[in-house]
């Protein structure tokens, strides 16, 4: 890259500040509700084909023990953008103020201060309030450009105000609470715009446009897909016809109760459910490939760090697969929190590597700041993964990680995981498995979490419980509300 202004390198005892000429571009791609096994490079599922994600993995390091900070979307995304446990500012479940109460800078604000031009494309989901002028809106926490939606459930195919108006009119005849399907306009900056097309392709196109306009200076692109979130039946007719799939159809408020439709669309009731899910994964993978091709064509690939990560565990009700892990989104089983993670920068980082080190979404902030030559702030809960990726510290990983929702908590150290379940949570409405009790798991010998080692390992259980109590003592009271049963069903 060539820039009109060249800064001098300055070396201090504590940090190395990289000139604008040398700062690499950073692209963070987030998928939504993707299953742990739903990456063909994993070699777990024969029905999965993700050639472009596999290509990205071959150009970097793929992690098999990477974790989200939460088993649901909005809280995990709070953790990504801030680089800390979201419980530190009161967020542990749906509801709550998102990053409104976060007083430290976000990753975007830190990179902007370092000279980056920042763009946000896609789904925004932290909490409420979330519109223009609020801290939860991308232009208010460090991004220079934004195209996307603050609706946590974005319709894949319909993006205009007339559709929302028509749906709301129909729903008025059946006032059952429900989500508006995210049919409404996208935002281009603060302005609402109607647009035609499939959301995954639209977001991919807008991401490439941002790169094309900003590739001659350091940029940070946060590309947040809504794929493969429900409702995966919303596929282009061309794809349905080509693959022999029936048009399932959205909920009609005048025809039936919402939950009747909802459960019919989900596991195990939808015979095309897995095919719909894989269709959305196909479009997601396609757009990752187009983005990589764009970066290659501009000649900036070796100066661009690309990170791909899932926001939380795969949602089994929509036919995501987390094999061999137990559980689903909404729970603190491994299937609810362990996610795909790929980090790649050919020429600077080794390629075609697989890591079993325990890492977290928190680590993205210090890793990005490290490649940008910036000091990692003291508030960060993550670790800089660059020494691990370069092979300088092959044993680098988290010693202890924590998770907490309204009804569960868990802690992992090494192979051991303590998982406590003291409420039903989302399980009854979302139809996911959640066993009550106290469970000590060994994730090396029993990755599917079927054996409870608590009785014969009381000393390990006590140590892990002590870690949890020490961590809890550092947190404020949660600001998240506990949703009603209907809101659970509408959980984005």
Spell out the SS3 assignment of 420-479. EECCCCCHHHHCCCCCCEEEEEECCCCCCCCCCCCCCCHHHHHHHHHHHHHHHCCCCCCC
Q: Where are the alpha helices (DSSP H) in 67-160?
A: 73-82, 107-113
Residue 435, strand partner residues: none
- Kindly report the CA angle at 468 between 94 and 434, in degrees rounded to 5? 50
CATH code, domain with 125: 3.40.720.10
Band of the pLDDT at 414, cuts 50, 70, 90? very high
Would you say residue 130 has pLDDT above 80? yes
| pLDDT score, position 19 | 55
User: Strands 117-123 and 219-224: what pairing?
Assistant: parallel
Residue 357 included in any domain: yes
Residue 8's pLDDT is 28
The answer to whether residue 420 sits within a structural domain is no
Query: Pseudo-torsion of CA 431, 432, 437, 443, nearest 10°?
Result: 170
Burial category of 192 from C-beta neighbours within 10 Å (exposed 0-12, middle 13-18, buried 19 and up): middle
Residue 486 pLDDT > 50? no
pLDDT, tens digit, for every residue of 328-343?
999 999 999 999 999 9
Whose structure tokens read 């509408």? 490
* Residue 159 domain-assigned (yes or no): yes
pLDDT in tens, 58-111: 999 999 999 999 999 999 999 999 999 999 999 999 888 999 999 999 999 999
Q: How many domains does the chain have?
A: 1
- The average pLDDT across 14-43 equals 84
Q: Is residue 454 part of a domain?
A: no
For residues 367 and 343, is the Cβ–Cβ distance under 8 A? yes
- Here the tokens at position 72 are 């649901």
49's tokens: 């084909």
Smallest Cα–Cα separation from 120: which of 196, 220, 214, 23?
220
In-domain check, residue 405: no
Give the H or E element holding residue 54. Answer: helix 51-58
Distance CA 78, CA 141 (A): 12
CB 330 within 8 A of CB 432: yes
Q: How far is CA 437 from the centre of its chain?
A: 28
With beta carbons less than 8 A apart as the criterion, state whether 147 and 186 touch: yes
Does residue 483 carry a pLDDT above 60? no
Residue 31 belongs to a domain: yes
Residue 487, helix vs strand vs coil: helix
Task: Please say if the pLDDT value at position 446 is more than 50.
Answer: yes
Token representation of residue 13: 């005892």
Q: Is residue 482 part of a domain?
A: no
How many C-beta atoms surround the C-beta of residue 356 within 10 A?
A: 10
Residue that has been written with the tokens 């801290």 in this structure: 135
Q: What is the reported pLDDT for 110?
A: 98
Q: Read off the tokens for 43.
A: 């070699």
Which H/E stretch holds residue 219?
A: strand 219-224
Structure tokens at 206: 């807008």
Closest C-alpha to 322, from 309, 306, 338, 311 = 338
Residue 6: half-sphere exposure toward Cβ, Cα within 13 Å: 2
User: Given a cut of 70, is residue 487 above it in pLDDT?
Assistant: no
Share of residues in the chain with pLDDT > 70 (%): 92
Q: Which domain holds residue 381?
A: 23-398
pLDDT digits (tens, 9 = 90+) for 164-217: 898 888 888 776 666 557 899 999 999 999 999 999 999 999 999 999 999 999
Q: What is the mean pLDDT of the chain?
A: 91
**Per-residue confidence (pLDDT) for residue 12, from 0 to 100:** 34
Q: How far apart are CA 449 and CA 419, in angstroms?
A: 10
Q: For 280-335, write each residue's pLDDT tens digit.
A: 999 999 999 999 999 999 999 999 999 999 999 999 999 999 999 999 999 999 99
Cα–Cα distance between 409 and 71 in angstroms, integer?
Answer: 11
How many C-beta atoms lie closer than 10 Å to residue 368's C-beta?
A: 27
Q: How many C-beta neighbours within 10 Å does residue 15 have?
A: 14
Calculate ∠ Cα 122-125-130, nearest 5°. Answer: 105
Q: Which residues contact 24 (CB under 8 A, 6 or more apart)?
A: 218, 303, 304, 305, 345, 348, 371, 372
pLDDT above 90 for 147:
yes
Q: Dihedral through CA 144, CA 145, CA 150, CA 155, nearest 10? A: -160
The model carries a pTM of: 0.94
Written as one string, the DSSP assignment of 159-172 is --HHHHHHHHHHHT
Over residues 422-446, mean pLDDT: 94
Count of CA atoms in the C-beta half-sphere (13 A) of 7 = 16
Quickly state the pLDDT bin for 425 (edges 50, 70, 90): confident
Q: In this structure, is residue 380 part of a structural domain?
A: yes
Asked if residue 10 has pLDDT above 70, the reply is no
């Amino acid at each position: 890259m060539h820039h009109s202004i060249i800064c001098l390198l300055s070396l201090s005892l504590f940090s190395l500040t990289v000139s604008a000429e040398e700062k690499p571009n950073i692209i963070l791609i987030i998928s939504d509700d993707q299953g742990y096994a739903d990456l063909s490079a994993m070699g777990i599922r024969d029905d999965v084909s993700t050639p472009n994600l596999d290509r990205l993995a071959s150009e970097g390091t793929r992690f098999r023990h990477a974790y989200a900070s939460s088993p649901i979307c909005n809280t995990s995304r709070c953790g990504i953008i801030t680089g800390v446990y979201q419980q530190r500012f009161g967020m542990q479940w749906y509801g709550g103020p998102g990053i409104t109460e976060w007083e430290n800078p976000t990753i975007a604000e830190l990179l902007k201060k370092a000279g980056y031009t920042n763009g946000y494309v896609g789904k925004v989901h932290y909490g409420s309030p979330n519109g223009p002028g609020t801290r939860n809106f991308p232009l208010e926490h460090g991004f220079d450009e934004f195209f996307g939606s603050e609706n946590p459930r974005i319709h894949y195919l319909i993006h205009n105000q007339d559709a929302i108006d028509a749906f709301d009119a129909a729903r008025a005849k059946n006032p059952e609470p429900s989500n508006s399907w995210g049919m409404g306009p996208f935002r281009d900056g603060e302005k609402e715009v109607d647009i035609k097309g499939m959301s995954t392709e639209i977001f991919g196109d807008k991401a490439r446009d941002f790169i094309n306009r900003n590739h001659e200076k350091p940029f940070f692109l946060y590309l947040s897909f809504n794929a493969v979130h429900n409702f995966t039946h919303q596929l282009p007719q061309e794809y349905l016809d080509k693959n022999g799939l029936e048009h399932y159809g959205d909920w009609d408020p005048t025809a039936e109760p919402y939950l009747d439709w909802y459960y019919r669309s989900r596991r195990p009731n939808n015979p095309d459910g897995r095919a719909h899910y894989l269709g959305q994964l196909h479009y997601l993978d396609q757009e990752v490939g187009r983005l990589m091709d764009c970066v290659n064509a501009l000649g900036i690939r070796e100066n661009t760090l690309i990170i791909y990560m899932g926001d939380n565990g795969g949602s089994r009700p929509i036919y995501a697969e987390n094999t061999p892990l137990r559980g689903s989104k909404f729970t603190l089983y491994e299937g609810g929190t362990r996610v795909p993670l790929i980090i790649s920068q050919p020429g600077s980082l080794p390629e075609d590597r697989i890591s079993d080190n325990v890492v977290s979404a928190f680590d993205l902030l210090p890793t990005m700041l490290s490649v940008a030559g910036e000091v990692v702030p003291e508030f960060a809960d993550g670790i800089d993964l660059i020494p691990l990726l370069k092979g300088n510290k092959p044993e680098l990983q988290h010693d202890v990680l924590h998770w907490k929702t309204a009804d569960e908590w868990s802690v992992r150290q090494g192979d051991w995981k303590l998982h406590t379940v003291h409420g039903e949570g989302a399980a009854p409405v979302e139809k996911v498995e959640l066993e009550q009790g106290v469970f000590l798991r060994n994730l090396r010998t029993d990755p599917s979490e079927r054996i409870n080692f608590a009785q014969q390992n009381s000393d390990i259980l006590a140590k892990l419980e002590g870690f949890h109590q020490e961590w809890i003592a550092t947190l404020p009271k949660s600001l998240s509300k506990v949703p009603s049963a209907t809101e659970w069903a509408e959980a984005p």
